[in-house]
A = this chain, B = another copy of it.
Amino acid sequence: MSKTAGCCQNCLHYIFDYETPKTLVIPSLRVGFVFRFTQLLVVLYVVGYVCVVQKAYQETDSVVSSVTTKVKGFVFTNTSDAEPRFWDVADFVIPPQGDNSFFVLTNMVDTREQTQSRCPELPNPSTTCADDCDYIEGYNDPRGNGIRTGLCENYSTTVKTCEVLSWCPLEIDTKLPERALLAAAENFTVLIKNSITYQKFNFHRRNILPHINSSYLKICEFNRKTDPDCPIFRLKHIVSEAGEDFQDMAVKGGVLGILIDWSCDLDWWAGKCYPKYSFRRLDNKNPVNNVAPGYNFRFAKYYKTADGEETRTLIKAYGIRFDVIVFGTAGKFGIVPTIVNLGAALSFLSLVPMVTDWFMLTCMRKRELYSRQKVTYLTEEADTESVSDVH
C-alpha cells in the first residue's frame, strides 16, 4: 500500500513539480535598452506590417461571379462598297444573349448568295493552271477553298485556276474596308450588371451600388473621375482607357478585357467593398510574331430559295470582343491565420533574449562579470555529492 502511495506521489511530483529556469537580473540600463528595443522592433513589425499592411490575420476567399451585359446603339452605313443599311443591336452583337463575353461587329467582308456549286479557285501560285489542273488524286490543299474537281477554268479573262467544289462564289477577304464599316460603333454604350458572391463569408454584392438610383442610371456614363460607380460604359471610352484607338482597333478587330476587381476587406463594414474597373487589351497588337492578328470569325446566315435550294450569306466578321473578367479576393478576420501569424511573431520574440545575451556577453565592458555570474561550468570534482548540498 505504502509502496503504491509512494509511487503515486512520485507520479504526482513528476507531473506537477514545476521546473522553472533560474535567472540572473542584470541592472544595466544599456542591456535593458537593447532588450526592450529589439522587442519593440519585433512587435512593431508584427502589428504594423503583418497586421495593418498585409492583413495577414484574415481568411481569404475567391470571388464567384455572374455577369449580364447589354449593348445599346444603332448605326447607319452608307459606303461605296455596300448598299445603305441600318444596323441595330440584333445585327451586330454576337452572341445576342449578353454573357460576360460579347462581340461588337465593326467591320466585315460579306459574300452573298453562296450555294453548293463549282467555281474557279482564287488565283495564287498553287491554284493557277494552264490547261488541266494537275493534282494528286484525293489531295485537297488545306490552304485552298474547296475540293478540286480537276478542271481548269477561267477565273478572269487573263487567269485560269483550278475549279473547286465549294460554297460558291468564294469569299475574297482581301478587300477589307480600310476604314471600319461600323466606325460609329464607338458611340455605343454597354450596361454591365455584375453580381458577386463570397461563399465562405456568405457575402453578396452587385455592381449597381445601393446609393445609386434609377434616374441617375438612366443618364450616367462611366468616367473614372466624375462617375466611377456608373455601370454604363461607352465603347470608345473603354478602348481609350486601355490605351488603344477605337478606329484603329475596329478595322482588324481585337479582344478587350473589362476587368472588375472586387478585392474586399469585409472586416468592419461591408460598404468598403466596391468594384474597381480597369481596361486592358488582351490580344497582341504587335505585328511581330503575331499569327492571325486582330479578331475575326466567320458565320453564315442560311436562306432557302423559292425552289428549295439552300443559299447562305457568309460573313467574315471583324470586331472587338469584350471579355468581362471578374476577379478578387475578400479577407475577413479568421482565427487560424491570426494564431499562425501571432505564433510566428512570438517565435521571433523568443529570439530577442538570444540577441540581447550575445550583445551583453560580447559588447559590454562588464561582460566578464556577467558571464561569470550567468554561466556555470560543470564541476566534475563534485561528482559524488550534490552540488547544492555541498554549499
Contact = CB atoms under 8 A, between A and B. Distances in A.
Most buried by B among A15, A24, A66: A24
Nearest to A101: B99
Contacts of A377: 24-25, 27, 388
Interface stretch (A122-130, A243-251, A264-272, A283-291): A283-291
Interface residues of A, number: 143
B97 A321 contact: yes
A23 interface: yes
Copies of this chain, complex-wide, total 3
Those 4 A-B pairs whose CB atoms lie nearest each other, nearest first:
A343-B344, A16-B32, A391-B391, A96-B299
22 contacts: A16-B36, A21-B22, A21-B23, A22-B22, A22-B375, A23-B375, A74-B166, A76-B140, A86-B147, A86-B165, A86-B167, A90-B300, A96-B297, A97-B321, A195-B283, A199-B327, A208-B289, A208-B290, A214-B290, A339-B348, A342-B347, A373-B378
Interface of A: 12-13, 15-29, 31-33, 35-36, 49-50, 54, 56, 62, 64, 66, 68, 70, 72-74, 76, 84-86, 88-91, 94-99, 101, 103, 116, 140, 142, 145-147, 165-167, 187, 191, 193, 195, 197, 199, 204, 206, 208, 210, 212-214, 217-218, 231, 255, 257, 259, 261, 280, 282-284, 288-292, 295, 297-306, 311-312, 314, 321, 323, 325, 327, 335-336, 339-348, 350-351, 353, 356-357, 360, 366, 369-370, 372-380, 382-383, 386-388, 390-391
